[in-house]
Amino acid sequence: MQRRQLIQAATVGIAMPSFVFAQDKYPSKPIMFVCPYAAGGNADQRSRQIGKFLATALGQPVIVDDKPGAGGNIGTDVIAKAKPDGYVIGMGNFAPLAVNPTMFKKMSFDAARDLTPICLIEKGPLVLMVPASSPFKNVKDVIAAAKASPGKLSFASGGLGGSHHLSGEMFKSLSGIFMTHIPYKGGAPATTDLLGGQVDMMFEQMYSAAPNLRAGKLRGLAITSKTRSQLFPDIPTMAESGVPGFEVQNWQGLIGPAGMPPAIVKLLNETTTKALADPTIKEQMLGQGNELGGGTPEQFAAFVKVEAERWGNLVRSANIKPE
């Protein structure tokens, strides 16, 4: 009898840890939030903002870890290869999810297979800008000049395959013009040369463009969204400016590795949606000219699929290759 009781006690003692582990409520430890871009940029700032809200709402620290490089591929690969238990999540962006799968010959992850879209966070338009001293007053002026002298006009970008670059490629494709692309290592140096007149124009994200537009240093010719921005209602859309079908939005959302438990995906989606309704977060995002995201994981997944097909076609037709 004593021996049987000892065996039973030992068995319970062995089984107890796994029982307790199985009953652990998510999250029961810190969460790593991977940002695939450098510290200080918009993706990093939004990651920290959303991460802080998640930490408060879920009751566990959320640690933002910036892992930039390869157009967002390095950080996104970390997310894709993580254990799908919800303790490694991160920011999924326009380039690594919708552009890079076609632009790069070899990828260390499959964006469609190895990731779980959780919640769209925001979409942000870009603005076609020229220096204040530019002779171009509208998009039609640019098209006319480009057709008169193919290749003479130049447009800057923050690097190959980003929204700056692809906006220019779409402009060329839809308007039937040819311009010379000048890639820079980031939007800031590209804007510096635009201000100095070394390049003719640039598509820049609204939040970065706003200060120079307000100061009168740059002139906004058109916005890339379907509708005009409340921040700059006098700037027409590209479609209104004579380029029908033109729409570009730089976007990002919360993602995790493939195979995450549906209950965890649901919790993270609902909590992120609450973050987008937070007055401080909402005001900042709208104040930058962005559109609020939200919606279900399934809607975000469908959105990413459409974007990947759309930009994949443009990358192939324009023969865009990484540096």
What contacts 218, CB < 8 A, 6 or more positions away?
A: 129, 130, 131, 132, 194, 195, 209, 212
Q: Is the peptide bond before 27 cis (omega within 30 degrees of 0)?
A: yes
Is pTM beyond 0.95? Reply is: no
| Mean pLDDT, all residues of the chain | 91
Q: Tell me the domain boundaries of the chain.
A: 29-123+250-318, 125-223
pLDDT mean over 255-267: 98
As a whole number of angstroms, the distance between CA 234 and CA 218 comes to: 14
pLDDT on residue 71: 87
Say if residue 6's pLDDT is above 70.
no
Over the stretch 27-41, which tens digit does the pLDDT of each residue have? 999 999 999 998 888
Of 4 and 215, the one with more pLDDT: 215
Question: Using alpha carbons only, what angle is made at residue 104 by residues 91 and 209, rounded to the nearest 5 degrees?
Answer: 50
As a whole number of angstroms, the distance between CA 56 and CA 314 comes to: 41
29-123+250-318 and 125-223: same fold?
Answer: yes
Of 41 and 199, the one with more pLDDT: 199
What contacts 120, CB < 8 A, 6 or more positions away?
A: 251, 253, 293, 294, 295, 299, 300, 303
Say if residue 23's pLDDT is above 80.
no
Contact in structure between 291 and 230 (CB atoms under 8 Å)? no
Fold annotation for 29-123+250-318: D-Maltodextrin-Binding Protein; domain 2 (3.40.190)
Distances (CA, A) of 272 to 24, 105, 119: 22, 33, 7
Predicted confidence band of residue 188 (pLDDT cuts 50, 70, 90) = confident
pLDDT mean over 59-73: 94
Over the stretch 136-159, which tens digit does the pLDDT of each residue have? 999 999 999 999 999 999 999 988
Euclidean distance between the first and final Cα of the chain, in Å?
75
Say if residue 1's pLDDT is above 60.
no
Distances (CA, A) of 274 to 224, 278, 295: 28, 6, 11
pLDDT on residue 41: 84
Residue type, 85: D
Q: Which CATH superfamily is domain 125-223 in?
A: Periplasmic binding protein-like II (3.40.190.10)
What phi and psi values does residue 95 have, to the nearest 5 degrees? -70, -60
Q: Which residues on adjacent β-strands are paired with residue 155?
A: 181, 201
Contact in structure between 218 and 120 (CB atoms under 8 Å)? no
Write the DSSP assignment of 121-175 as a string of letters. EEEEEEEEEEETT-S--SHHHHHHHHHHSTTTSEEEESSTTSHHHHHHHHHHHHH
Say if residue 212's pLDDT is above 90.
yes
Say if residue 7's pLDDT is above 90.
no
pLDDT on residue 306: 96
As a whole number of angstroms, the distance between CA 133 and CA 195 comes to: 9
Over the stretch 93-143, which tens digit does the pLDDT of each residue have? 999 999 999 999 899 999 999 999 999 999 999 999 999 999 999 999 999
pLDDT mean over 191-213: 95
pLDDT mean over 9-32: 61
